[in-house]
């Protein structure tokens, strides 16, 4: 069958070009690799090589033609034994454009609801963010947390360690890598005892080379392993941000779904105590910006355990944001090894009728303190612990706001393009009519974190800021 | 050294020793500088223990000969950059102990007005460019300082200090390449104190650190960093080489930190014996003091210096405790340079 030679795209941005010159004439024999024509793009003159061999049966676009669209047939190549008579009608139209965005259902959001449970729950859905992009706000995945009745009191540090140990026992492909994780037992002692139990093959001390070992871990994940990469703190994870985003976050998509990257990047995030600007920042919104990553941020030890197990079992790359200030805090944690908190489900830590306070990580504790203070002033606050930053449990937030009609978002990071800004957009898009007051954000001050004790306290969100913001949206200030 | 177009072959050499005959005055100067660093650091450790200094605080005790030896042969226009273990480098550069200590306590009279802390101080006046918390950063920033020296043709050399652990960061290799490619006037000083936090060099680093430039044509040398004269002699030669337009040089200085990595490190990864060997047999300050006594200096004359240093440090500590915290409005200043519209 005669084959069409198409106008080639010779740069990523080229949509059309001029056919400057034919170097072969009709009837010439062509070998694969022969230069058959010259094409001018807006940037350069390029040669067009034949991909197949045969005889140039017919030239469809003559020399000197301007603005020939990419993919337009420009000539016909005949195979052995074929003649020009075999050439039928040639469809000169280029291939149709493929839309680059999914069809959006309609501009009103669709909220899928069931109504009896205190916190709604739908099915486990693969990609909630895509549904949201299409205007669907879906219920969070189901989770019967109350059924885990046997608990023990442990610190966040131990909960994280236990989660890793249990998953490492369960799956021989899980390993831990990072600076000081093995012999030193972790710079913050989170990996205490893991080297003893699992040995140096699975608990690995690295040189101080974050970019290198993060990339190495990604490669090993592509090749079948399930790495947990500890960054001594997330500040140092910045050295590796390229691999987290470009190598881990995009692989599944770039590979058309063939291979993904089951990996957990974890470590303490946010401010510690007076360690200055370069060692104190919150990366939640940085990573939450990226499609292809899951971003988790536990507050309690139960969160830490249940989310860490979910992260390790997740076939996707997970950014796991811990908090150094919480490592030593104790909470009740279910002892059941199947206590795995679903990714994408927030927790209502305290239900209330007057105002919704949304927080994550260390700020959940402050929000609960604020709720107590507000109670004394007759304001009944509902506190939502996000647990997962991405995919955000939009459903739970919206349902709460529809009930309380007022919302305060709380985070330790900067306001600009922060998680609070995302929540504000959500509320603006989907709950505008329910609001009785504009949303309020409580964030870190918009400055690098200062070292001086007094300035540091001023820079970070405190309980009283949350109380004040809640009173403000309740018009009680 | 004569200005030569032909570079030395990139041969690296291990532990050279210098035969120099320092005068009593030279010895006194170096002793004074090292003692200031030691007493300052001891005081910082003490104030940390009292809760007056917060966050991380990385002491330089044991490593005094490194920065002192190099600084003694630097020129005024040379620039310096280092990591978070930076108090000594600032003192050596001639920065005021009062301003450094006040930064450690987070007071407005500190070099960064209390906003930087132990790891982040700068002095344009003394050509000191920080104080950086991210391991490996000083190599790249130092390479840029060198780039500017060459650009401005100011005959300056950039001196970038970094640790043994830092040598493994990718950006260090990237900078070696650029510095060699563009003949930048930069001296890379690897302060090999044998550990990066709890990880010994043998567990973190393949090959020899001073040879890491060989592939790029950068000569490297390993010297004893417990002997200030050895450091001085090596630095003199290295700085000459770099200043003459030959491009970068790597000086690996073998040293030891007596304290933990930072105040919170119990340093259980090494034996007491190991630490004591350095403290008792190799201490750079004890060594030079011995030389001064051997050279005929009276103990009483040495005590005069000791007393003077003690007073400087005590004064700095008082200043650092009595200075006020920054005013609340300082929270909002210095984020960006204010430009009139
Ligand atoms: C990119 C980065 N990773 C990790 C850390 C945490 N950290 C601080 S100091 C240090 C050890 C550095 O050792 P070395 O370079 O030998 O310098 P030394 O502390 O011995 O002076 C580590 C891992 C950091 N500050 N930056
Ligand atoms: Mg070191």
- Collect all residues of chain A within an 8 Å Cβ-Cβ radius of residue B330: 450, 452, 455
pTM of the model: 0.85
Q: Closest to A455 (Cβ–Cβ): which among B115, B166, B204?
A: B115
- Average pLDDT of chain A to the nearest whole number: 91
Residue B117 in any domain: the answer is no
Interchain CB contacts (distance < 8 Å): A and B: 127
Query: Does residue A427 register a pLDDT over 50?
Result: yes
Q: How many domains does chain A have?
A: 3
Note whether A277 contacts B: Cβ–Cβ < 8 A. Answer: yes
Domain boundary among A86, A115, A140: A86
Residue A309: which CATH number? 3.40.50.970
What average pLDDT does the segment B206-231 reach?
Answer: 98
Q: A315-346 as b/e, with b when 16 or more CB fall inside 10 Å?
A: ebbbbbbbbbbbbebebebbeeeebbbbbbbb
Residue B37 in any domain: the answer is yes
Same domain, A18 and A66: yes
Six-digit token string for B144: 């840029």
What pLDDT sits at residue B10? Answer: 59
What are the φ/ψ torsions at residue A213 (nearest 5 degrees)? -75, -25
Same domain, A74 and A174: no
Rounded to a whole number of angstroms, the distance from the CA of B187 to the nearest CA of chain A is: 22
Residue A117 in any domain: the answer is no
A136 versus B42: the higher-pLDDT residue is B42
Residue B106 in any domain: the answer is no
Residue A457: which CATH number? 3.40.50.920
| Closest-CA residue to A226 (of A266, A181, A264) | A264
Ligand minimally distant from the alpha carbon of residue B60: 1
Residue A424 in any domain: the answer is yes
Q: A46-70 as b/e, with b when 16 or more CB fall inside 10 Å?
A: bebebeeebbbbbbbbeeeeeebeb
- B165 Cβ inside 6 Å of ligand 1: yes
- A208 Cβ inside 6 Å of ligand 1: yes
Residue A194 in any domain: the answer is yes
Note whether B213 contacts A: Cβ–Cβ < 8 A. Answer: no
With contact defined as beta carbons under 8 Å apart, do A330 and A154 qualify? yes
| Closest-CA residue to A227 (of A311, A345, A284, A158) | A311
Same domain, A290 and A194: yes
- Average pLDDT of chain B to the nearest whole number: 94
- A210 Cβ inside 6 Å of ligand 1: yes
Cis peptide before A418 (omega within 30 of 0): no
Whether residues A452 and B132 touch (CB distance < 8 A) is answered with: no
Q: CB neighbours (10 Å) of residue A255?
A: 12
Same domain, A224 and A315: yes
Rounded to a whole number of angstroms, the distance from the CA of A48 to the nearest CA of chain B is: 38
Kindly report, residue by residue over A193-236, the tens digit of the pLDDT. 999 999 999 999 999 999 999 999 999 999 999 999 999 999 99
Same domain, A328 and A368: no
Residue A94 in any domain: the answer is no
Range of the domain at A48: 3-86
Residue A373 in any domain: the answer is yes
Give residue A99's pLDDT band: very low, low, confident or very high (50, 70, 90). Answer: very low
Query: Parallel, antiparallel, or unpaired for β A388-390 and A294-296?
Result: antiparallel
Q: Is residue A210 annotated as a catalytic residue, yes or no?
A: yes
Give the long-range contacts of residues A172-175, CB within 8 A, separation 24 or more.
A173/A224, A173/A225, A173/A226, A174/A202, A174/A225, A174/A226, A174/A227, A174/A228, A174/A312, A175/A201, A175/A202, A175/A203, A175/A204, A175/A225, A175/A226, A175/A227, A175/A228
Domain boundary among A334, A359, A393: A334
3-class DSSP state of B253: strand
A381: alpha, beta or left, given left = phi > 0 and alpha = psi -120 to 50?
A: beta
Alpha-carbon distance B110 to B122, whole Å?
10
Residue B22: which CATH number? 3.40.50.970
Give residue A329's pLDDT band: very low, low, confident or very high (50, 70, 90). Answer: very high
Whether residues B117 and A207 touch (CB distance < 8 A) is answered with: no
Whether residues B114 and A451 touch (CB distance < 8 A) is answered with: yes
With contact defined as beta carbons under 8 Å apart, do B44 and B117 qualify? no
Note whether B134 contacts A: Cβ–Cβ < 8 A. Answer: yes
Residue A361 in any domain: the answer is yes
Domain boundary among A266, A300, A334: A334
Residue A22: which CATH number? 2.40.50.100
Query: Does residue A105 register a pLDDT over 50?
Result: no
Sign of CA dihedral A246, A247, A252, A255: positive
What pLDDT sits at residue A94? Answer: 41
Residue whose token pair is 């100067």 = B29
Q: Which of A139, A167, A210, A349 is catalytic?
A: A210
Kindly report, residue by residue over A310-323, the tens digit of the pLDDT. 999 999 999 999 99
Rounded to a whole number of angstroms, the distance from the CA of A37 to the nearest CA of chain B is: 41
- Collect all residues of chain B within an 8 Å Cβ-Cβ radius of residue A448: 335
Rounded to a whole number of angstroms, the distance from the CA of B123 to the nearest CA of chain A is: 18
Same domain, A11 and A55: yes
CA distances (Å), origin B176, targets A272, B158, B219: 34, 13, 11
Alpha-carbon distance A57 to A68, whole Å?
20
Q: Which of A16, A26, A279, A429 is catalytic?
A: A279
What average pLDDT does the segment B69-96 reach?
Answer: 98
- B86 Cβ inside 6 Å of ligand 1: no
Query: Does residue A107 register a pLDDT over 70?
Result: no
Kindly report, residue by residue over A30-66, the tens digit of the pLDDT. 988 888 999 887 777 888 888 788 999 999 999 999 9
Instruction: Identify any residues that bridge with A192 across adjacent strands, giving them in sequence order.
Output: none
What pLDDT sits at residue A41? Answer: 78
With contact defined as beta carbons under 8 Å apart, do A369 and A383 qualify? no
Six-digit token string for A383: 């506190």
Query: Is this complex's ipTM strictly greater than 0.95?
Result: no
Q: Is residue A465 annotated as a catalytic residue, yes or no?
A: no
CA distances (Å), origin B143, targets A361, B165, B250: 39, 18, 12
Same domain, A377 and A292: no
Whether residues B331 and A448 touch (CB distance < 8 A) is answered with: no
What are the φ/ψ torsions at residue B278 (nearest 5 degrees)? -70, -45
Whether residues A184 and B198 touch (CB distance < 8 A) is answered with: yes
Residue B125 in any domain: the answer is no
Residue whose token pair is 């955000």 = A392
Q: Closest to A209 (Cβ–Cβ): which among B168, B269, B326?
A: B168
Ligand minimally distant from the alpha carbon of residue B85: 1
- Residues 6 or more apart whose CB falls under 8 angstroms from that of B148 comprise none
Same domain, A222 and A313: yes
Same domain, A195 and A290: yes
Q: How many domains does chain B have?
A: 1
- A184 Cβ inside 6 Å of ligand 1: no
Residue B336 in any domain: the answer is no
Rounded to a whole number of angstroms, the distance from the CA of A238 to the nearest CA of chain B is: 10
- B261 Cβ inside 6 Å of ligand 1: yes
Kindly report, residue by residue over B194-203, the tens digit of the pLDDT. 999 999 999 9
- B260 Cβ inside 6 Å of ligand 1: no
With contact defined as beta carbons under 8 Å apart, do B134 and B100 qualify? no
Note whether A274 contacts B: Cβ–Cβ < 8 A. Answer: yes
- Collect all residues of chain A within an 8 Å Cβ-Cβ radius of residue B108: 452
3-class DSSP state of B329: helix
Alpha-carbon distance A397 to A427, whole Å?
9
Note whether A453 contacts B: Cβ–Cβ < 8 A. Answer: yes
Residue A110 in any domain: the answer is no
Whether residues B106 and A445 touch (CB distance < 8 A) is answered with: no
3-class DSSP state of A430: helix
What pLDDT sits at residue A102? Answer: 43
Note whether B99 contacts A: Cβ–Cβ < 8 A. Answer: no
Note whether A92 contacts B: Cβ–Cβ < 8 A. Answer: no
Alpha-carbon distance A370 to B2, whole Å?
72
Residue A425 in any domain: the answer is yes
What average pLDDT does the segment A70-83 reach?
Answer: 87
Range of the domain at B167: 13-81+135-319
Six-digit token string for B127: 């050509």
What average pLDDT does the segment A461-465 reach?
Answer: 98
Same domain, A301 and A358: no
Give residue A89's pLDDT band: very low, low, confident or very high (50, 70, 90). Answer: low
B107, closest residue in chain A (CA to CA): A452
Degrees to nearest 5, angle at CA A463 with A462 and A467 = 125
CA distances (Å), origin B24, targets A6, B31, B42, B297, B302: 86, 10, 26, 8, 11
Alpha-carbon distance A258 to A242, whole Å?
21
| Closest-CA residue to B262 (of B37, B33, B54, B30) | B54
Same domain, A323 and A378: no
Same domain, A197 and A278: yes
């Amino acid at each position: 069958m005669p084959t069409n030679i198409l106008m080639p795209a010779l740069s990523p941005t080229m949509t059309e070009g001029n056919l400057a010159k034919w170097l072969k004439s009709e009837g010439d024999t062509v070998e694969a690799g022969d230069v058959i024509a010259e094409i001018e793009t807006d940037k350069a003159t390029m040669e067009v090589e034949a991909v197949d061999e045969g005889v140039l049966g017919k030239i469809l676009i003559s020399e000197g033609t301007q603005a020939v669209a990419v993919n337009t047939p420009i000539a016909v190549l005949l195979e052995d034994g074929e003649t020009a008579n075999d050439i039928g009608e040639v469809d000169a139209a280029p291939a149709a454009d493929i839309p680059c965005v999914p069809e959006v259902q309609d501009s009103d959001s669709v909220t899928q609801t069931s109504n009896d449970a205190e916190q709604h729950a739908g099915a486990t859905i693969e990609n909630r963010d895509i549904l949201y992009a299409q205007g669907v706000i879906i219920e969070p995945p189901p989770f019967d947390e109350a059924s885990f009745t046997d608990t023990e009191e442990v610190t966040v540090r131990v909960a994280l360690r236990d989660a890793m140990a249990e998953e490492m026992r369960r799956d021989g492909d899980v390993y831990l890598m990072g600076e000081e994780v093995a012999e030193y037992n972790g710079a913050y002692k989170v990996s205490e005892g893991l080297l003893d139990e699992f040995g140096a093959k699975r608990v690995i001390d690295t040189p101080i080379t974050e970019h290198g070992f993060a990339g190495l871990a990604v490669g090993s994940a592509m090749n079948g392993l399930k790495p947990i990469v500890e960054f001594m703190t997330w500040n140092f994870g910045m050295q590796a941000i390229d691999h987290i985003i470009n190598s881990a976050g995009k692989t599944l998509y770039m590979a058309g779904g063939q291979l993904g990257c089951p990996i957990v990047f974890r470590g303490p995030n946010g401010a510690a105590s007076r360690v200055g600007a370069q060692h104190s920042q919150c990366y939640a919104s940085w990573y939450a910006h990226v499609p292809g990553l899951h971003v988790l941020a536990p507050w309690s030890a139960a969160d830490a355990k249940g989310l860490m197990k979910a992260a390790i079992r997740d076939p996707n790359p997970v950014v796991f944001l811990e908090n150094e200030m919480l490592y030593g805090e104790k909470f009740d944690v279910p002892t059941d090894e199947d206590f795995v908190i679903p990714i994408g489900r927030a927790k209502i830590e305290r239900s209330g009728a007057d105002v919704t306070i949304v927080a994550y990580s260390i700020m959940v504790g402050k929000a609960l303190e604020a709720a107590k203070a507000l109670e004394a002033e007759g304001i009944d606050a509902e506190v939502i612990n996000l647990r997962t930053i991405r995919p955000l449990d939009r459903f739970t937030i919206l349902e709460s706001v529809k009930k309380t009609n007022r919302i305060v978002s709380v985070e330790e990071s900067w306001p600009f393009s922060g998680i609070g800004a995302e929540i504000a957009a959500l509320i603006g898009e989907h709950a505008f009519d329910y609001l009785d007051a504009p949303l309020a954000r409580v964030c870190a001050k918009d400055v690098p974190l200062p070292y001086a004790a007094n300035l540091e306290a001023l820079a970070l969100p405190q309980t009283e800021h949350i109380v004040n913001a809640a009173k403000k949206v309740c018009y009680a200030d | 050294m004569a200005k030569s177009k032909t570079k030395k072959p990139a041969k690296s050499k291990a532990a050279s020793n210098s035969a120099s005959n320092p005068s009593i005055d030279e010895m006194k100067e170096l002793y004074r500088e090292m003692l200031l660093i030691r007493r300052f650091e001891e005081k910082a450790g003490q104030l940390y223990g009292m809760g007056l200094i917060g966050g991380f605080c990385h002491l330089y005790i044991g490593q005094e000969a490194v920065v002192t030896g190099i600084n003694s042969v630097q020129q005024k226009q040379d620039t310096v950059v280092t990591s978070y273990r930076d108090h000594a480098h600032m003192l050596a550069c001639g920065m005021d102990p009062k301003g450094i200590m006040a930064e450690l306590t987070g007071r407005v009279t500190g070099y960064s007005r209390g906003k930087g802390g132990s790891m982040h101080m700068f002095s344009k006046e003394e050509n000191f460019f920080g104080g950086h918390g991210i391991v490996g950063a000083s190599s790249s920033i130092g390479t840029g300082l060198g780039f500017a020296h060459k650009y401005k043709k100011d005959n300056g050399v950039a001196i970038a200090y970094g640790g043994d652990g830092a040598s493994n960061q990718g950006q260090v290799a990237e900078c070696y390449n650029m510095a060699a490619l563009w003949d930048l006037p930069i001296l890379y000083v690897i302060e090999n104190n044998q550990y990066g936090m709890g990880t010994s060099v043998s567990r973190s680093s393949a090959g020899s650190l001073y040879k890491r430039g060989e592939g790029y044509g950068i000569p490297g040398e390993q010297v004893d960093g417990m002997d200030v004269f050895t450091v001085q002699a090596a630095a003199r030669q290295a700085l000459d080489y770099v200043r003459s337009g030959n491009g970068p040089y790597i000086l690996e200085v073998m040293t030891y930190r007596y304290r933990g990595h930072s105040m919170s490190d119990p340093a259980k990864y090494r034996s007491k014996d190991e630490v004591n060997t350095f403290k008792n047999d190799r201490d750079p300050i004890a060594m030079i003091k011995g030389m001064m006594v051997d050279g005929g200096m009276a103990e009483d004359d040495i005590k005069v210096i000791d007393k003077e240093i003690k007073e400087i440090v005590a004064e700095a500590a008082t200043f650092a405790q009595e200075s006020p915290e920054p005013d609340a409005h300082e929270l909002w200043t210095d984020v960006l340079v204010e430009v009139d519209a």
